[in-house]
Amino acid sequence: MSEVAAGWIDPELASEFPELRLHALTLAARSGRSPAELRERLRELSDRFRGPQAVVMRQRPVPWAYRVFFRHIGLDPDEHRTPVEALALERLKAGGFRSRSLLDDALTVAVMETGVPVWALDADRVEGELGLRPAGRGERFGQGEYASDIPAGRLLVADAAGPLGVLFGALAPGRGVGPETTRMTLFSVQVAGVPDIHVEEALWTVADILTGQG
């Protein structure tokens, strides 16, 4: 397992948001069905996180910091919800956090316990270091008839080969974790007001769960 590494930030983006950071961690891991202890951890998390907690959650410092950043980049957090608020709403609608897979459950635990979003890529499909940059004119996700346009200027997570995903949005086709994945690159985005320790805790929470240490 590697150490947490800092990604690159487009210079103009860094000038506009000097506290914006991308952090990545690569490890050998597979997804699959969640073990019983992780499913129980989700149930306990569901019991701790009910309606009253959801109401006040957005006012806490870390969730609030992501709401503020969303507005700065042109996203309305009441329509395009931050990752932690999207999970909170899902929990309220479903009556609990549903177990989906080892990876998905690990991401849910990390986000709900720290407020910091984490995503996962197939490490063998990443070329070079991860970074953040605006989309260029005419950039697309995928190839052929299934390719989709990316609005120019939309913030992307990218590597040397091109876009890996829209920031706080969907990952590019073929770049995420699949059944054949044996190595993952976890990444998280830190914004102004989010302490380093919260980001590191989120990444290591996912890593420890995936490797059976959490």
pLDDT higher than threshold 90 for residue 95: no
Chain segment 167-212, per-residue pLDDT in tens:
999 899 889 999 999 999 999 999 999 999 999 999 999 999 999 8
| pTM for the predicted model, two decimal places | 0.93
- Mean pLDDT check: name the lowest of 1-5, 33-37, 43-47: 1-5
pLDDT of residue 214: 65
pLDDT of residue 144: 63
pLDDT of residue 146: 64
Chain segment 68-81, per-residue pLDDT in tens:
999 999 999 999 99
The residues, ordered by sequence, that sit 6+ positions from 76 with a Cβ below 8 Å of its Cβ are 70
Identify which of 126, 103, 153, 147 has the alpha carbon closest to the alpha carbon of residue 22: 126
The pLDDT-based confidence of 8 (bands split at 50, 70, 90) is: very high
CA atoms within 13 A on the CB side of 71: 7
The pLDDT-based confidence of 50 (bands split at 50, 70, 90) is: confident
pLDDT of residue 143: 63
pLDDT of residue 145: 65
pLDDT of residue 49: 77
CA atoms within 13 A on the CB side of 131: 17
The pLDDT-based confidence of 149 (bands split at 50, 70, 90) is: confident
Identify which of 159, 155, 157 has the alpha carbon closest to the alpha carbon of residue 171: 157
All domains in the chain, ordered by first residue: 5-139+149-210 (3.50.40.10)
Average pLDDT value over all residues in the chain: 92
